Structures are given as structure tokens and as C-alpha cells.
Chains A and B, each alone.
Chain A
Amino acid sequence: MSDNTKAIVVGVGPEAGLGGALCARLAREGLHVFVAGRTPAKVEALVVTIRNAGGRATGVPTDTTIERDVIALFDRAETDGEGVLDLVIYNAGNAAMGQAHDMEASFFEQVWRVGCFGGFLVGREALRRMLPRGRGTVLFTGATASLRGKPNTTAFAAAKAGLRSLAQSMARAYGPQGIHVGHVVVDGGIAGDKIIKGIPQFAQAMGEDGLVSLSGLADAYWYLYKQPKAAWTHELDLRTFKESF
């Protein structure tokens, strides 16, 4: 059935990032993947890589905080090619740091728009299309900050906690109607370009196996998607074995 299945992944940056790894994995499993990221060049690069590997992918540059962009993304996914949209992953968000006393209001609002509001827009559009069919999976990427606020995660934790509650409300409301809503708490840094190339000194300090692997994360998302309906997970935490938590 994967051959006739479409997926949307929102929040795709570098190929070696969680969004990129998820797209590649879904395409390898046979799904037609709609790659939605803010930066057209990154989206295009990933689409080329997937196609070269024999997968099906369509790039749709999207600003997930803009309602009409999100609607257009879903319209495109519904009409482009054969198959049914069965999986949507919301992976947008950035761990923007800062403390309350010297934070611009616009900064806080923007972090919330990407981290939480965009999740609402994507979740709503997914539901509108999946509910009539009585099936589908919507997965949200969470973080340690989904569960607790630290001094520097003022805006990020507020957005992530909001996204987590949104996911929980959706799960409770639409599970009985056949829609599986899951929330993945990534408890630690991810072994992608953002950290390995962006803050190499941090990656180095974490040591070998100190960052959560992209393949391990992709395995978990794929497992949630394939879970039997008679035993669904809503929330899954993931960390490396050496993480102290």
C-alpha cells in the first residue's frame, strides 16, 4: 500500500537533519514525499537526492506560519500524482534561546508561530483531509523543552509545550475517528548538520554517541506510523543510551 501513499513532511532543512532524514526514509519505504521547508534551495537539493535514489519526492517551499501557504501545500499534495495522503509530520521549529527580561516581543511571537501555530495550521489541514477517510497519521516533533522550561528556553519551551498540548488534544479528539496523532519527545541534541556543522564544539563535547542519531529517530517515526490500530502510542521519548536524564 506504500506505493499508493503520500506523506507531507513540514520543517525540512539540510539533508542531514531530522526533516531530511524523515523524507529520505519515507521515500525509501515507497511513499511519495512532499518536502516542505522554508528554503527552496534546501528543499530542491533533497528532492534531487531522493529522486536519484529512485524515490518519489515533490518539493513545496512553504512558510508554515502563513495559512495560505499551508493550505496550498496540502492542495498540492492532494492533487499531485496518484495516491492518498496518509502521513503528515510537523517538524518545524528552532531552538531559539534567550531569557525573558531582554527578549523582543516579536522574537517570542515568531518562535511561537513556527513552533506552535504552524503545527495548528498543518494539523488542521491534515485533519480536514483525513477525517472523511477515517484514517491517517499526524506526528509532531517535540523536544526536552516540551516538558520543562529552562532559563534560556523561555520562548522555545513555551512554543513546544503548546505544541505538545495541541497534539494531545488532537489525539483525544480524533483517535476514536481513526486518526493516529503522535508526539515524539527528542530528549537531546540531534546528530545532524545543525549541531555537527553549526556548533561543532558542542558536538565534540557530547562525544561519541552523545547525540541522537537520525536513523534511530527515523526508525521511531516509521514505527509509530506502522503501529497497529489496536495499540497506538501517543507520546514517545527518545534519547541516546548515555544521556543523563
Chain B
Amino acid sequence: MSEKICVVAGVGPGTGAALSRRFAAGGYRVAMLARDAERLAALEREIAGSRGYAVDVTEAARVKEVVERIGSDLGTPSVLVHNAVSGHFGEFLEVAPEALEQTFRTNVLSLMLLGQAIVPRMLAAGRGAIIVTGNTSAWRGAASFAAFAPSKAAQRILAQAMARSLGPKGIHVAYVVIDAVIDVPWTRQAFASKPDELFARPAGIAETVYHVAHQDRSAWTFEVDLRPFGEKW
């Protein structure tokens, strides 16, 4: 097996697409996981060597199946980027408990499902990197993120448990805290009055994820924060 394979779970028009482009530019064949088959088809046409897999990563059986398919279509992944996210906005008394359940399924459970499906293959190959994208909510429960922040905090802690368990076995697990609004069309609309320097560029985020995924094992990072230079924090 000579080809490098990267799985990007959660491919939207912003970070996920930028990650797929970055790894493809680094010589990887990229397996892109998302629910939206049309968006994946468009990215497949754009990114050479990539392949889209329309899947709901919160369903255990589907995850197993898709990891099998990636294995036979492309080969053993050496990198998994977990970028799937389910967001929810609302204060404590307003949010529906089901929203919390949904964010936990997408943001936490799917990391466990994907990790448990892919890690045995990485272990057999003797190497691997799992990079999880998070955000400010992993550190802080703001009032309007009652049904969202708990899931990101849990995701970070799951990643930490994975890092401590898998690191000595040669699998690098890292968590990227994006402490900013990401520059995509809908955020530009929603925060139209924000100046340019307050938006983190997906390509910049992808650059750091790529760097961390390729650190030498004699100096691995677990947690890395990212923000645009203008951000107040």
C-alpha cells in the first residue's frame, strides 16, 4: 500500500472542504464523509483522487459499513479528521432536551464510532493520526450554548482519553480549538458588521490540522488553539 489515505468526517462548504483540499494537495486520497450527497459529488469533481461517502456518522452500523468500504476502495487510512458538528443555539430554559441529545450524538458519539472502526486498522498498520476540530465551547459554556457547549467539552475530554490510550501505541490524537467565527458565506451574512480580521479562514485552519497530523512522534501536540489575529479573547 503506497497511497496515503485521509478520512474527513463532516464535510461542509467551509472547514471540511478546505481540509479535503489541503490533504489532497499533500498527496492524500481523501474519503469525504457527509450526509449531503450532492455537495460531496461536487467536491469529488473538484478534488482529484477524492471520494465522497454519503453517510450519517451517528449510526453505528453505517459507520462500520462505510469504514469497510473506504478500506476496500482506497486502503487503510493513516489520518482521520473529525469535523462533524451539530450546533444548537439557545439558553438553558429555552432549549429542548432533544437538542442536547442530538449534539452529543454528532459531536461525541460519532467520534467514538469512527475511532473504534478505524483505529484497529491504524494499529495494524502501526501508525495513524486522529485530529478533532473543536471550538471555544470546548472550554466554556456561554449562556446561549446550553445544548451545544456540553457536547464540545465532552468531545474534547473523549479526545484526551483517546490520546492517552492510543499515544503510546503510536496513534497521535489531537484537539484543535477554533476560538473564532469561521469565514463561510452564512457567517459573513450573520455577522455582517464584523470586520474582516475577526474571521478565521478555513484554509488557515486546514493548514494547522495538516501540520499537527504530520508532527514527528518525538514531539506531539495534544491541544492547539486557533484564532484570527484580530480576535478579542
Name A's B-contacting residues (CB within 8 A). 172, 175-176, 178, 180, 191, 209, 211-213, 215-217, 219-220, 223, 227-245
B101 on interface, CB distance cutoff 8 Å: no
Interface contact B201-A230, CB-CB below 8 Å: yes
Interface contact A242-B219, CB-CB below 8 Å: no
Name B's A-contacting residues (CB within 8 A). 164, 167-168, 170, 172, 178, 180, 183, 197, 199-201, 203-205, 207-208, 211, 215-233
Interface contact A216-B225, CB-CB below 8 Å: no
Interface contact A239-B219, CB-CB below 8 Å: yes
Interface contact A172-B219, CB-CB below 8 Å: no
B135 smallest CB distance to A (angstroms): 13
Interface contact A228-B219, CB-CB below 8 Å: no
Question: Are A244 and B216 CB-contacts (below 8 A) given A178-B229, A231-B208?
Answer: no
Which chain B residues border A178 with CB–CB below 8 Å? 229
A177 smallest CB distance to B (angstroms): 9
Which chain B residues border A241 with CB–CB below 8 Å? 167-168, 170, 172, 217-218, 220
Question: Are A228 and B207 CB-contacts (below 8 A) given A172-B233, A176-B230, A241-B172?
Answer: yes
Which chain B residues border A217 with CB–CB below 8 Å? 219
Q: Which residue of A lies closest to B170 (CB)?
A: A241
Question: Bound complex: CA of A243 vs CA of B163, how far in Å?
Answer: 10
Interface contact B215-A232, CB-CB below 8 Å: no
Question: Are A231 and B215 CB-contacts (below 8 A) given A172-B232, A175-B230?
Answer: no
19 sample A-B contacts, Cβ–Cβ < 8 Å, listed by A number: A172-B232, A172-B233, A175-B231, A212-B219, A213-B218, A215-B218, A216-B216, A217-B219, A227-B208, A228-B203, A228-B207, A230-B199, A231-B178, A233-B208, A233-B226, A235-B223, A237-B223, A239-B222, A242-B168
A149 smallest CB distance to B (angstroms): 20
Interface contact B218-A209, CB-CB below 8 Å: yes
Question: Bound complex: CA of A50 vs CA of B192, how far in Å?
Answer: 50
B204 smallest CB distance to A (angstroms): 3
Which chain B residues border A238 with CB–CB below 8 Å? 219-221
Question: Are A229 and B225 CB-contacts (below 8 A) given A215-B216, A219-B219?
Answer: no
B180 smallest CB distance to A (angstroms): 8
Which chain A residues border B205 with CB–CB below 8 Å? 231
The listed residue with most B CB atoms (<10 A of its CB), out of A236, A239, A241, is A241
Which chain B residues border A215 with CB–CB below 8 Å? 216, 218-219
Question: Bound complex: CA of A220 vs CA of B225, how far in Å?
Answer: 14
Q: Which residue of B lies closest to A240 (CB)?
A: B218
The 10 A-B residue pairs whose C-beta atoms are closest, nearest first, are A216-B219, A231-B204, A213-B218, A230-B201, A241-B217, A228-B204, A230-B204, A216-B216, A216-B218, A231-B226
Interface contact A220-B219, CB-CB below 8 Å: yes
A76 smallest CB distance to B (angstroms): 29
The listed residue with most B CB atoms (<10 A of its CB), out of A209, A231, A243, is A231
B221 smallest CB distance to A (angstroms): 5
Question: Bound complex: CA of A240 vs CA of B217, how far in Å?
Answer: 6
